[in-house]
Amino acid sequence: MKTLVLANQKGGVGKSAVATLLAHYLAQQGQRVLALDFDHQGNLTQPLARSGRTVQAPFGTGQLMAEAGHKLASSSFCLVPASLELLTLERQPARHNEFANRLLDFLVWHDARFDVCLVDTNPNPDIRLVSALACADHVLSPIQLNQEALDGVHFLLNHPRVGLRKLQAVLNPKLNLIGLLPTMVETTPFQKANWIQLVQHHPSLMIRIGDGPGQYAALPRRASVAEAQASGEVLWEMKKTAARDAWREFEPSLRHIAGVVTTSGVGHGLAA
């Protein structure tokens, strides 16, 4: 099982939407998928639960971290939902190692049962995010093309507690940064200028999906994504033509990312 964590300390950048799309996409490809929602807001839990495609664990991710002995029923598409206990974990620093180790034990225990574990995270730089990144094989960072987000890339890599370079150096040398995934991309001059800035300043963090100029993974802003998140429908199965058109635009990026996670070896480390 390969573990992919969606992480960015900014909220509202598309982490949960990308996690939901990837979960359905990987499941449709025949991968056995385990989805863990570490954000108490439950923006991965709700769409997956509403989709009716997942078997939901009788415990939440808060209990998974705080209590021993949680095991999943047999299914090829499982969801461990967000729970309010998540909010209590950070306040128990003496138990932080225990929480991280329990998550690791849980993943090791289920290693042969699933092909991919997808972890959606909260924006706070707390023990949930540290634990998820400490256990991960891959991390993907959705990002919006606004100035604040671009300024945040340095923090994303170098934050003293949850910076990806720092975590890789101190806690998890195997962590592979797949890269930055611009989401909600619009063809405005402002976003185009920010895109150019991102490519210039962080070329090695962009995710190449083809050899041509500008062929990087990115997801445009499409209303059907928000609709799918709200209704639990699978984007490419929605009746509206707009949703299927959106999926056609999204598919090359998500196919590439799914390929990196399931075959590994591709992608790059964090040294660049």
Residues in touch with ligand ADP (CB under 6 A): 11-17, 43, 183-184, 219, 221-222, 225-226, 229
- We find the least distance from the C-beta atom of residue 121 to Mg ion, in angstroms, to be 8
Nearer to ligand ADP, 66 or 130 (CB): 130
Q: Which does 103 bind (CB under 5 to 8 A by kind): ligand ADP, Mg ion, none?
A: none
Closest distance of CB 72 from Mg ion, Å = 22
Give the CA distances from residue 248 to residues 97, 115, 171, 176, in Å, rounded to whole numbers and listed in that order.
43, 25, 38, 27
Measure the CA angle with vertex 268, ends 263 and 272; round to 5°: 175
Closest separation in Å from C-beta 39 to Mg ion:
5
219 binds, among ligand ADP, Mg ion, none (CB under 5 to 8 A by kind): ligand ADP
CA distances (Å), 25 to each of 8, 31, 153, 154, 165, in order?
21, 9, 27, 30, 29
Given ligand ADP, Mg ion, none, residue 184, with its beta carbon under 5 to 8 Å by kind, binds: ligand ADP
17 binding partner (options Mg ion, ligand ADP, none; Cβ < 5 to 8 Å by kind): ligand ADP
How many other CB atoms are found less than 10 A from the CB of residue 177? 24
Q: Which of 7, 10, 13, 15 binds Mg ion (CB under 5 A)?
A: 15
State CA 75 to chain mean position distance: 21
Nearest to 38 by CA among 162, 114, 133, 105: 133
CA separation for the pair 109, 18 (Å, rounded): 26
> Residue 67: exposed, middle, or buried by beta-carbon count in 10 A (0-12, 13-18, 19+)?
exposed
CB of 37 to ligand ADP, least distance (A): 10
**Residue 18-47 contact track with Mg ion, rule CB under 5 A, x = bound:** ---------------------x---x----
CB 131 within 8 A of CB 99: yes
Decide whether 15 or 202 has the Cβ nearer to ligand ADP: 15
Nearer to ligand ADP, 194 or 229 (CB): 229
Give me the sheet containing 55-56, strands edge to edge.
55-56, 77-80, 33-37, 116-120, 2-6, 138-144, 176-183
As measured in angstroms, the least distance from the Cβ of 241 to ligand ADP is: 16
Amino acid at 18: V
Nearer CB in complex with Mg ion: 16/183: 16
What minimum distance in Å lies between the beta carbon of 230 and ligand ADP? Answer: 7
- Binding residues for Mg ion, rule: CB under 5 A, are 15-16, 39, 43
